[in-house]
Chain A
Amino acid sequence: MSAADPVIRTEGITKNYVLGAETVHALRGVDLTVERNEYVAIMGPSGSGKSTFMNVIGCLDTPTSGKYWLNSQEVSVLTDDQLARIRNKEIGFVFQTFNLLPRATALHNVELPLIYAGVSQKERRERAAAMLERVRLEERMLHRPAELSGGQRQRVAIARALINNPAILLADEPTGNLDSQTGIEIMALFEELHAAGQTIVLVTHEHDIAEHARRTITLRDGVISSDVRRIAAVI
């Protein structure tokens, strides 16, 4: 793998769901290439297939047909356990609803992917603490999610997503549950991460959030309807 290889390359991805007697074609052939350190927003109205596409990119779901290479490795042929390993090492998820474990401290939430990576407890503690410092939550390490504000919770989730140094940060409506001011703070953090070299894929239906990205891809009826690149983001 060389630095020039794309992080994500998909070829003719389709995904069909069978709902009763009907077959839903969620994706009808998506070809996409995302280079290293790109900042991409995927947009589209509901039913456009953007969530399905995100699940495929995030290796949570396997396509019905088509090929998907992540970091030059073809993942569309991997087994369940191999996919779990890819999700653990290569993908950092950030969800709209944060998805933190309510009974665990911020530190333990950030540690979680390292447990599945088989990292020793001592190293886990150190790395999780360092990551929480990076998202400026060093004061809140031992707080539980209920004791944190929405923005702080999302920063814990971002720290968790980055803990294994993933190839892509995959964010699904990361500001959807936040007020606009906090949303701006989170987008500033994404900007900072992008500047540090992180590849980011953002799924959103809000234009002003998508405008933070350098490239906007719009899905419509399971295919890419537009792919727009910008020189600089509007901050």
Chain B
Amino acid sequence: MRIIEGVALALGMIRAQKLKSFFGVLGVIIGVMFLITVVSVVEGLNKYMEEDFAKAVFGLNTLTVQRQPSVSFESDPEYWRAMWRRPRLTLQDADAIEAGLSVPAIVGVASDGNGTIISEQGIEVSNVWLTAASAEFFTIRDYEIERGRLFTAPEDRMGVPVVVLGWDAANKAFGALDPLGRTVRINGAQFRVIGVLKKQGTLFGMSLDNQAIAPSRSVMSRSVNPRGYVDNILVRPNVDTDLEQARMDIEAVMRIRHQLRPGEDNDFAIDTAEDSLSFWQTIKRILLIAFPGLVSIALVVGGIVIMNIMLVSVTERTREIGLRKALGARRADIMWQMLVESATLSGLGAAIGIGIGLALAKLVEAVSPLPAAISPFWMAVATIMGVTVGVVAGFYPASRASRLDPVVALRQE
């Protein structure tokens, strides 16, 4: 008997016993549902981390020199004390790196902080992400201007108190007024607004547009760091393939400046967006390996329930099986029919689970900052898992059905 007929027969059976079938596949539905929900969110996060997060926070093809690595899972307090004993980076370090590079590259500095800006009208905008940066910072980060202009390298060198606002910060501080040429007070110091950045959106629900960027030598530096110190030195080679060479040049320059002996560890970190993502790759791998494992426990339970349903079904249909045998069904035909029925049942459960799982993932996306991505690969995996559960669970009942003696089966009432 061909598979389509078997499936049609099974669907007829399921339609006739909707409630029983539903409870029978509940385990499979729940297992698949969770698998799809979690995988959709993990895949969504992954896309997000690789495409948006990395670019927004670290910049593409950019080396970031820092006192400490940007991501660390170390919990040993001794490790952290060592980290905090490391020397801070300075503007002179940045100049030395620029001079020491053997490949063409843009070098900039940026230090971050947090503060409140107050407009001329007295409107306060709190929790603004403050950056004291060199003029190259905009090029390195691919920041684009919406209105006005960016500050220039000479303005940075002289520490002119000008500021470029993010779209949200400008909007909140000035509303309908044109912010260009107006002044804002940032942690007490006055700045003239010269530009507004293009809208960039959010990251994990956090606005990327609630920011203010001023020259690194301006009074802004006091809001973020003690005088002369910087948080990050950014190096973006003009040619992407020069990244490794640039990394080696930076390491050499910094080791000399920090007077490290051969064999001594670096007391600074050089990160790329890819390095920072490696921690995420680890988490993702663990999630994608561990979760299907957990789901398979639910599927085993689901399979046991299906096996019971099928055993009951075989008992109820003893007479039908006897009849089919009398009409010429071989053992293999009966076996096949029952297996297809069991697989159809659990396959249907998997399909329902996928549907609910996708809906849940969309719901998670709607009510939380976590994104969701639909993955055809995992939908296929879930379907195969579901059908496999049906086949495995149906095997024993099917073999029992196929071994029924037609004489005895036909006599059954």
* Interface residue ranges, A against B (CB under 8 Å): 55, 58, 60-61, 80-81, 84-85, 87-89, 93, 95, 99, 101, 103, 112-113, 115-117, 121, 160, 164
Per-residue contact bits, chain B 311-336, to A (CB 8 Å; 1 contact, 0 not): 00000000110011111111111000
Least CB separation from B329: chain A residue: A116
Name the CB-closest residue of B to A99: B323
A200 to B361 alpha-carbon distance, docked (Å): 66
Give bound CA distance, A89 to B324, whole Å.
Answer: 13
Confirm or deny: B142 has a beta carbon within 8 angstroms of a beta carbon on chain A. no
Q: Please provide the 3 A-B residue pairs with the shortest distance between their CB atoms, ordered closest to farther.
A: A88-B328, A116-B328, A84-B330
B406 at the interface (CB under 8 A from A): yes
Q: Is B12 an interface residue (CB 8 A)?
A: yes
A-B contact pairs, 15 of them (CB 8 A): A81-B330, A81-B331, A84-B333, A85-B328, A87-B325, A87-B327, A87-B328, A88-B327, A89-B328, A95-B410, A99-B326, A101-B323, A113-B327, A115-B5, A121-B5
B367 contacts partner chain A, Cβ-Cβ < 8 Å? no
Which residues of B sit under 8 angstroms from A87, Cβ to Cβ?
325-328
Cross-chain contact of A58 among B320, B326, B329, B331 (Cβ < 8 A): B326
B410 and A99 form a contact (CB under 8 A): yes
Closest chain B residue, CB of each to CB of A113: B327
Cβ 8 A contact of B328, one of A99, A101, A113: A113
Given the contacts A81-B331, A99-B319, A93 and B12 also touching, CB distance less than 8 Å? no
Indicate whether A93 sits within 8 Å of B328 (C-beta atoms), given known contacts A60-B406, A103-B16, A115-B1: no
Q: A55-B407, A116-B1 are in contact. Are A60 and B320 (CB under 8 A)?
A: no
Q: Tell me if B406 and A112 are in contact (CB < 8 A).
A: no
Chain B neighbourhood of A115, CB < 8 A? 1, 5
Partner of A93, one of B5, B327, B331: B327
Measured between beta carbons, the chain B residues less than 8 angstroms from A55 are 407
Do the beta carbons of B330 and A80 come within 8 Å of each other?
Answer: yes
A61 to B16, CA, bound (A): 33
Instruction: List residues 134-149 of chain B with CB under 8 A from any CB of chain A.
Output: none
Docked CA distance A60–B411 (Å): 12
CB pair A112–B326 under 8 Å, yes or no, is: no
CB-nearest residue of chain A relative to B333?
A116
- Expressed in whole angstroms, the minimum distance between the Cβ of A86 and any Cβ of chain B is 8
- Interface of B toward A, CB cutoff 8 Å: 1, 5, 12, 16, 319-320, 323-333, 406-407, 410
Complex CA gap A224/B308 in Å reads 47
Do residues A60 and B16 form an inter-chain contact, with CB atoms below 8 A?
no
Q: How far is the CA of A84 from the CA of B326 in the complex (A)?
A: 7
CA–CA, A87 and B326, complex, Å: 6
A103 to chain B, nearest CB (A): 6
Taking the nearest CB of chain B, how far is it from the CB of A19, in angstroms?
Answer: 13
Q: A60-B326, A60-B406, A88-B327 known; 6 other A-B pairs, CB under 8 Å?
A: A80-B331, A81-B330, A81-B331, A84-B330, A93-B327, A160-B327
Chain B residue numbers with a CB within 8 Å of A88 are 327-328
Give the residue among B5, B12, B319, B323 with the most A Cβ atoms within 10 A: B323
| Complex Cα–Cα for A93 and B12 (A) | 25
Report A73 CB to chain B, min CB distance, Å: 16
Nearest-CB residue, chain B, relative to A121: B5
A169 to B198, CA, bound (A): 87
List the B side residues contacting A99 at CB < 8 Å. Answer: 319, 323, 326, 410
Give complex CA distance A58, B323 in Å. 12
C-alpha gap A60/B327 in the complex (Å): 10
A132 to B366, CA, bound (A): 59
Nearest opposing residue in chain B for A104, CB measure: B12
Please measure, in the bound complex, the distance between the C-alpha atom of A81 and the C-alpha atom of B335, giving whole angstroms.
13
Whether B12 and A116, one on each chain, are in contact in the complex, defined by CB atoms closer than 8 angstroms, is: no
The residue on B at minimum CB distance from A100 is B323
Question: Please, which residues of chain A bring their CB within 8 A of the CB of B406?
Answer: 60
Q: Is the beta-carbon distance between B330 and A112 smaller than 8 angstroms?
A: no
| Contact in complex: B329, A60 (CB < 8 Å) | no
CA distance A115 to B406 in the complex (A): 18
Q: Cα distance A112–B327 when bound, in Å?
A: 8
Q: Which of A60, A89, A101, A164 interacts with B407 by CB under 8 Å?
A: A60
Which partner residue on chain B sits nearest A115 by CB separation? Answer: B1
B410 touches A103 (CB 8 A): no
Given A60-B407, A60-B410, A116-B1, the answer on whether A103 and B12 have CB atoms closer than 8 Å is yes
Contacts of A113 in B (CB 8 A): 327-328
Residue of B nearest to A102 (CB): B320
Considering the chains assembled together, what is the distance between the CA atoms of A58 and B328 in angstroms?
11
Query: Which residues on the A side are within 8 Å of B407 (C-beta)?
Result: 55, 60-61
Query: Assuming A103-B12, A115-B5, A116-B330, is B410 touching A84 (CB within 8 A)?
Result: no
Q: With a CB–CB cut-off of 8 A, which chain A residues contact B410?
A: 60, 95, 99
**Residue among A80, A115, A121 with the highest chain B CB neighbour number at 10 A:** A115
Q: Please, which residues of chain A bring their CB within 8 A of the CB of B1? A: 115-116
The complex places the Cα of A204 from the Cα of B271 at a distance, in Å, of 93
Which B residues are CB-close (under 8 A) to A93?
Answer: 326-327
Which of A80, A103, A116, A121 lies in contact with B327, CB distance below 8 A?
A: A116
A126: shortest Cβ distance to chain B, in Å? 17
Which of B16, B333, B406 counts the most chain A CB atoms within 10 A?
A: B406
